[in-house]
Amino acid sequence: MRRILSFVIKELIQLRRDKRMIGIVLVSPIIQLILLGYAANLDVKTIGTTILDFDKSTLSRKFVQTLLSSKYFQINKYAKNYNEIKKDIESGRAIVCIVFPKDFEKNLIRHRTSSIQVILDASNGNKTSIVFGYLANATAQFNKLHLGDFQIQNGSFLYSSFPRIQPEIRVWYNPNMETRKFFLPGIVALLLLIIAIPLTAMAIVREKEIGTIEQILISPAKSFEIVAGKLIPFLLVGLLDFTFVLSVMVFWFGIEVRGSVLLLYFTGFLFTLSNLGLGLFISTISKTQQQAMILSVFGIIVPMIYLSGFVFPIENMPKIIQTITFLIPLRYFLVILRGIVLKGIGIFELWDQILILSAYGVAFFLLSLIRFRKTFH
C-alpha cells in the first residue's frame, strides 16, 4: 500500500505541474456542459417559409397571418414563381413553401374545400415531421376561425357544408422521411473529422517524445516542406477513408449521391485539409501525445459535434452560440455534403460554403506552419 500510495502521490504531483492537462481535464468538461446545455435542443423553433401566392386575396393573407401567429413560421420570402421556391429549398433558406392557387378564396366563399400546395424539404426527416405537425395545427386554427365567420354569416352551424383548407403535401429529397438519410452523410463527415485531427495532432509531438525532431530540424528541408511532408500522407489516408465510407453509404445503405461526385471529393479534400492543419497546430502546442490526444478529442472534436448542426439545429441555439458555430469547418461541410448527396445541388448553390471551407483549410495550414517555425526555430 505504501508503494501504491507513493505512485499515486507521484502522478498527482506530475499532473499538478502539467498546467495544460489540468485545464483540459477540469475546465473542458465545464465549458462543454455549458455549451451542450444551450445547444442540446431538438425542438424546431424557427421554420424558414417561402410563400407563392397566385390568389393574392384577403383569405390567403389571413392564412399567412395565422402561420405567423404560431411564432414558429418565419416568412423569408414571397416568391414570384416555382423557380424561386426551388432555389430557396435547395439553398436551405426555406424548409416549407406554401403555394396558394388562383381560386383559393373563391372556393372558400362558395363553400368548397380549397387546396393549398405545401412543399417540404424532407432531407431532415425528423424536422420535417415536426414542421408538418405545426402546419397541421395552424391549418386547423385557420379552419376554426373561418368556421366562426361562416356561422356568423349564415346564422347556423352546417358542418357538412363548411369550407375547409386541404393541404396537398409534396415531399422533396426524402419521400419516406427516413432519419437515416439525413444522419448518414453527417456521419461520413464526422468520421473524417475523428480520423484526421488525432492522427496529425500526434505527428510532431511524437517526434519530440522520441527525440527525432532535432534530426528533422537540422536537415536541409524548410519548414513548409516538413509541414507538407507531415500532412500529405494523412491527407491521402483521409481521402482513402472518405472513399471507403462513401462506398458503404451508397452500396450498403442505398443512399445514392444525387450531385457531382467530383465536387464531393473536392470539398472532402478541403475539409480534410482544414482538419489536418488544425491537428498539426494542436501537435505544435502539445508536449506529450497524451496531451495532444485529449486536446484534439475533448477540446476540438466534441465541441464541433455539438455546435456544427450534426445533431442539434443551429437556429435553436442562443445568438452568441450561433456566432461561435461560424468558426467550425464541420458546419459548412455538413451543408455541402447533405446538399450534394441528398439534394443534388452544385457549386452555384454552395459556392459560399465552399469558399469559407477553402479559407479555413488555408488558414489552418498557415497557422500550423507559423506555429511550427516559432516553436522549433
Task: Name the residue with cell 537540422.
Answer: 218
Mean pLDDT of 80-109: 86
- Which is higher by pLDDT, 91 or 224? 91
Predicted local distance difference test score (pLDDT) of residue 157: 47
pLDDT digits 0-9 by tens, 100-144: 988 888 887 777 778 888 888 888 777 888 888 888 888 888 877
Secondary-structure class of domain 47-172 per CATH: alpha beta
Phi and psi torsions of 123, nearest 5°: -60, -35
The sign of the torsion formed by the CA atoms of 81, 87, 89, 93 equals: negative
| pLDDT beyond 70 at 88 | yes
Task: Spell out the domain ranges in the chain.
Answer: 47-172, 178-376
pLDDT digits 0-9 by tens, 45-54: 788 899 999 9
Mean predicted lDDT score pLDDT of the chain: 80
| pLDDT beyond 70 at 279 | yes
pLDDT band at residue 19 using 50, 70 and 90 as cut-offs: low
- Taking alpha carbons only, the member of 15, 85, 6, 21 closest to residue 48 is 85
Instruction: Quote the percentage of the chain above a pLDDT of 90.
Output: 9
Mean pLDDT of 208-234: 71
pTM of the complete model: 0.77
pLDDT band at residue 262 using 50, 70 and 90 as cut-offs: very high
Predicted local distance difference test score (pLDDT) of residue 356: 92
pLDDT digits 0-9 by tens, 163-220: 677 888 888 887 777 778 888 888 888 888 888 888 888 777 777 777 666 666 666 6
